[in-house]
């Protein structure tokens, strides 16, 4: 399997080379723009330096907080506050390197868990905490990332995040016990949970809205390609080497990214240092932590489990309190008022539905390939790899198209492809060819690549710069919750429908049916003839084979039913994608839509009323 390493390395080099070329072309405009504005004095709107430092980017709950003076500066071109010595390509290389290894690490564990169980002599439930704990740490850090990026410099925050990730990798690689391994994994998660929101905020700062598509498209490379190669790479490593190598390979990435950050990164985000919302932070940690834990356990324990119901109930109640609290305090840890921007709200809904549908292929398809068809983890991973390559190549191209036409046409085309290909997955059988699955998944990946980052970028483009930290935190939180919900929902549908199909098949297979008895007699006779055992001894074997066939067909039928649900979810996302509009760079909509929208632009410019209130 040494060719596999060259295959993956070649694919990574191809994608990185293509994206660096695109980045150099797309970043000339924002870099030149920053030079021309470097000596421009930023208006302080009558405030003293102390007042500006104190007030910063706070969004008060009063109408005054939404008026133009407080946000005029943040609505200006994103590159305006960036000094000329900031080189966007260098910044992006640093962040892409760090984000790639942190996201890759999320999908390396699944294949290696059985090997860790054997070495440390722990149960399946115990070893699962390596994944669950990592997910929970990420889940509670993302919502508070807005506070972090407003309080600490982007350079220091990145170095801390990658340093934590590297330290956690080293602890895990050298771990003498499972407790130490889990500790290292949680330290890893602390760094990984900061990287993605930080990277999105930096990209929004160094690129003006009219050229963010390419930048966010390149960022999509890490979000799409890294998790796709994870299972394949992990399978090859654990089959040929120790599972500890999974952690050792992260160390060079972390080390190099930290060194590059020391020399290349500068603080590009305004530091407003808002007061910490202690109650909001506690409610956020409890709410998102309990909800994500409950959803992660629902697939295995079932929705009727007391543990699942209890944790989800605690999470929902805490989040309800969290929402009401955030709407009443001047400095919430996560600003809920971002949903007052209708384009952001609509793109968040579409992104959540797309994430739900996407997990049908990421979760259900490997079950079909490995448990039903008997493919090895490496074979299953290689089947998904061409789709990942297509998404990696198409993501920056889709970003360039987004800069020209906006998200709506790309989302509609992408979701039409997604709906069609997801529906085709509802016809899986035990004889579906390997090649047809590859082509179907690759076409589906092409459709996904048109909308994954473009839809989210359209929503973020509507927000004023002061709300970017909260917008990115909210967008990542929505996707994270949607991903956990999608996994739990589709696994539950598959499990429940499998039980229904088993009952239906058993009820149709009775000893009173002459056709069934004829086939059963033929099967037992064939077993007797081939194995040389008496007919009486062959009958129990025939019953076992018949039962195995029933179970196999029932699982396939359950998987197909899960894809039916995924198709319906994708169709719902397609419906809502027709309502996505083009966001104007200053937080509004294009001029051609202003009159039709009846005051949307006035709201973006600082009105204290929402667009719907202005229409009234």
User: Tens of pLDDT along 410-425?
Assistant: 999 999 999 999 999 9
> Nearest-CA neighbor of 384 among 232, 494, 233, 219?
232
Angle of helix 212-240 relative to helix 377-405, nearest 10 degrees, comes to 170
Residue 307: C-alpha distances to residues 124, 127, 314, 570 (Å): 17, 18, 11, 30
Residue 502 has pLDDT above 70, yes or no: yes
pLDDT at 174: 92
> What is the arithmetic mean of pLDDT over 540-558?
72
pLDDT at 347: 93
Q: Is 394 inside a domain boundary?
A: yes
Name the nearest CA neighbour of 195 among 239, 253, 235: 253
- Gap between the Cα atoms of 566 and 423, Å rounded: 8
Residue, of 257 and 601, whose pLDDT is higher: 257
Contact 360, 566 (CB under 8 A): yes
Supply the pLDDT for residue 520.
Answer: 55
The per-residue pLDDT of the chain, averaged, comes to: 76
Q: Is the pLDDT of residue 588 over 60?
A: no
pLDDT for the residue 85: 67
Helix and strand element counts for the chain (H, E): 28, 0
Is the model more confident about 500 or about 363? 500
Which of 292-301, 339-348, 406-415, 445-454 shows the lowest mean pLDDT across its residues?
292-301
274: number of Cβ within 10 Å: 21
8 A C-beta contact, residue 205 and residue 269:
yes
State whether 426 and 573 are in the same domain.
Answer: yes
Query: Is there a domain that residue 540 lies in?
Result: yes
- Per-residue pLDDT, 271: 82
Domain ranges, residue 442: 338-496+566-590
Domain boundary among 332, 352, 374: 332
Task: Say if residue 381 is in the same domain as residue 412.
Answer: yes
Domain identity same for 289 and 356: no
- 170 vs 555: CA distance, rounded Å: 40
Report yes or no: 402 and 454 within 8 Å, Cβ to Cβ: yes
pLDDT for 240 equals 83
What is the value of pTM for the model shown? 0.74
Count of residues making up the chain: 616
Q: Which two tokens stand for residue 185?
A: 């994994």
Q: What pLDDT does 395 receive?
A: 84
> Among 316, 332, 348, where does a domain finish?
332
Report pLDDT for 125.
75
Which of 7-21, 45-59, 477-491, 578-592 comes out lowest in average pLDDT?
45-59
The answer on 381 and 250 residing in a single domain is: no
CA distances from 102 to 1, 68, 69, 122 (A): 25, 39, 39, 26
Q: Check whether 569 has a pLDDT greater than 50.
A: yes
pLDDT, tens only, 160-170: 999 999 999 99
Residue 162 and residue 222 in one domain = yes
Burial of 503-540, coded b for 16+ CB within 10 Å and e otherwise, reads eebeeebeeeeeeeeeebeebbeebbeeeeeeeeebbe
pLDDT at 74: 38
Most confident among 362-371, 516-525, 542-551 (mean pLDDT): 362-371
Average pLDDT over residues 467-494: 86
> Would you say residue 31 lies in a domain?
no
Q: Is 411 within the bounds of a domain?
A: yes
Q: What is the pLDDT of residue 538?
A: 57
- Span 602-616, pLDDT tens digits: 333 333 334 444 343
pLDDT on residue 545? 63
Do 157 and 215 belong together in one domain? yes
Between the CA of residue 324 and those of 132, 243, 332, 336, what are the distances in Å? 28, 46, 10, 9
Same domain for 181 and 308, yes or no, is no
Residues 298 and 357 in one domain: no
Say if residues 206 and 79 touch (Cβ distance below 8 Å). Answer: yes
Structural domain contains residue 63: no
* CA–CA gap between residue 303 and residue 316 (Å, rounded): 15
pLDDT of 218 reads 80
Q: Which residue has the higher pLDDT, 288 or 63?
A: 288
Q: Is the pLDDT of residue 207 over 60?
A: yes
pLDDT for residue 414: 94
End-to-end CA distance of the chain: 66
To the nearest 10 degrees (0 to 180), the angle between helices 407-424 and 342-359 is 20
State residue 399's pLDDT score: 87
| Residue 473, both tokens | 């935190």
Average pLDDT over residues 569-589: 81
Residue from 172, 100, 351, 147 nearest 269 by CA: 147
C-alpha torsion sign, points 556, 557, 560, 561 = negative
Q: Give yes or no: residues 266 and 380 share one domain.
A: no
Residues 115 and 219 in one domain: yes
- Percent of the chain past pLDDT 90, that is, above it, reads 22
Confidence of residue 537 (pLDDT cuts 50, 70, 90): low
Tell whether the model's pLDDT for residue 232 goes beyond 80.
no
More confident residue, 294 or 110: 294
Inside any domain, residue 5: no
Which token pair is 103?
A: 């996201």
Looking at the predicted structure, is the pLDDT value of residue 484 above 50?
Answer: yes
Residue 464 backbone dihedrals phi, psi, to 5 degrees = -65, 160
Q: Are residues 87 and 184 in the same domain?
A: yes
336 touches 326 (CB < 8 A): yes
Q: How confident is the model at residue 522 (pLDDT cuts 50, 70, 90)?
A: low
Average pLDDT over residues 103-126: 82
| pLDDT score of 547 | 59
Residue 68 placed within a domain = no
Judge if 473 and 513 occupy the same domain: no
CATH number at residue 185: 1.20.1250.20
Q: Categorize the per-residue pLDDT at 139 as very low, low, confident or very high, splitting at 50, 70 and 90.
A: confident
Predicted local confidence at residue 344, as pLDDT: 92
The proportion of the chain whose per-residue pLDDT surpasses 70, expressed as a percent, equals: 74
Distance (Å, whole) CA 244 – CA 232: 16
Neighbours of 428 (CB within 10 A): 22
The confidence score (pLDDT) of residue 510 equals 58
pLDDT tens profile 355-393: 888 876 777 887 888 788 888 777 777 887 888 888 888
Domain end marker among 512, 536, 558: 558
607 in any annotated domain = no
Q: Lowest mean pLDDT: which of 77-91, 143-157, 290-304, 492-506?
A: 77-91
Q: Work out how many domains the chain is built from and give that number.
A: 4
């Amino acid at each position: 399997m040494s060719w596999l390493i060259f295959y993956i390395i070649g694919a990574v080099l191809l994608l990185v080379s293509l994206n660096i070329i695109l980045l150099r072309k797309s970043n000339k405009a924002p870099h030149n723009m920053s030079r021309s504005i470097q000596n421009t004095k930023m208006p302080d709107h009558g405030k003293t330096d102390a007042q500006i430092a104190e007030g910063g980017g706070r969004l008060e709950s009063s109408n005054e907080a939404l008026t133009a003076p407080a946000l005029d500066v943040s609505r200006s071109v994103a590159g305006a506050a960036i000094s000329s010595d900031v080189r966007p390509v260098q910044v992006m290389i640093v962040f892409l390197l760090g984000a790639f290894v942190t996201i890759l690490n999320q999908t390396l564990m699944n294949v290696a868990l059985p090997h860790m169980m054997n070495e440390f002599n722990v149960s399946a439930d115990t070893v699962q905490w390596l994944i669950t704990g990592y997910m929970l740490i990420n889940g509670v850090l993302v919502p508070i990332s807005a506070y972090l990026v407003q309080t600490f410099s982007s350079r220091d925050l990145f170095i801390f995040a990658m340093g934590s990730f590297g330290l956690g990798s080293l602890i895990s690689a050298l771990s003498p016990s499972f407790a130490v391994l889990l500790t290292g994994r949680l330290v890893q998660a602390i760094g990984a949970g900061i990287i993605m929101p930080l990277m999105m905020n930096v990209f929004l700062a160094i690129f003006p809205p009219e050229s963010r598509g390419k930048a966010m498209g390149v960022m999509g490379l890490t979000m799409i390609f890294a998790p796709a190669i994870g299972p394949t790479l992990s399978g090859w490593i654990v089959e040929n080497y120790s599972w500890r190598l999974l952690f050792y390979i992260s160390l060079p990435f972390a080390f190099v990214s930290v060194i590059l950050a020391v020399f290349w990164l500068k603080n590009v985000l305004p530091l407003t240092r808002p007061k910490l919302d202690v109650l909001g932070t506690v409610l956020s940690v409890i709410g998102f932590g309990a909800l994500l834990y409950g959803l992660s356990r629902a697939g295995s324990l079932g929705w009727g489990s007391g543990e699942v119901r209890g944790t989800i109930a605690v999470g929902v109640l805490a989040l309800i309190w969290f929402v009401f609290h955030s709407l009443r305090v001047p400095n919430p840890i996560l600003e809920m008022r971002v949903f007052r921007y209708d384009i952001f709200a609509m793109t968040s809904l579409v992104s959540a539905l797309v994430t739900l549908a996407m997990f049908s292929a990421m979760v259900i398809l490997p079950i079909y390939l490995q448990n039903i068809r008997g493919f090895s983890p490496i074979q299953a991973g290689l089947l998904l790899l061409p789709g990942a390559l297509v998404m990696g190549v198409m993501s920056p191209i889709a970003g360039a198209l987004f800069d020209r036409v906006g998200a709506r046409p790309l989302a509609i085309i992408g979701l039409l492809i997604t709906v069609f290909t997801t529906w085709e997955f509802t016809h899986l059988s035990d004889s579906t060819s390997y090649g047809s699955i590859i082509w179907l998944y690759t076409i589906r990946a092409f459709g996904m690549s048109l909308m994954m980052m473009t839809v989210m970028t359209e929503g973020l483009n509507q927000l004023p710069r002061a709300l970017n930290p909260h917008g990115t935190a909210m967008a990542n939180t929505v996707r994270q919750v949607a991903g956990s919900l999608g996994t739990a929902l589709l696994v539950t549908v598959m499990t429940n429908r499998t039980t229904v199909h088993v009952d239906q098949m058993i009820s149709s297979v009775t000893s009173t049916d002459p056709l069934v008895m004829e086939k059963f007699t033929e099967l037992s006779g064939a077993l007797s003839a081939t194995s040389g055992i008496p007919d009486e001894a062959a009958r129990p074997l025939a019953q076992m084979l018949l039962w195995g066939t029933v179970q196999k067909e029932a699982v396939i039928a359950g998987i197909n039913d899960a894809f039916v649900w995924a198709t319906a979810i994708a169709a719902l996302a397609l419906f809502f994608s027709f309502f996505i509009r083009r966001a104007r760079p200053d937080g509004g909509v294009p001029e051609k839509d202003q009159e039709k929208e009846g005051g949307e632009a006035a709201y973006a410019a600082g009105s204290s009323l929402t667009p719907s209130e202005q229409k009234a």
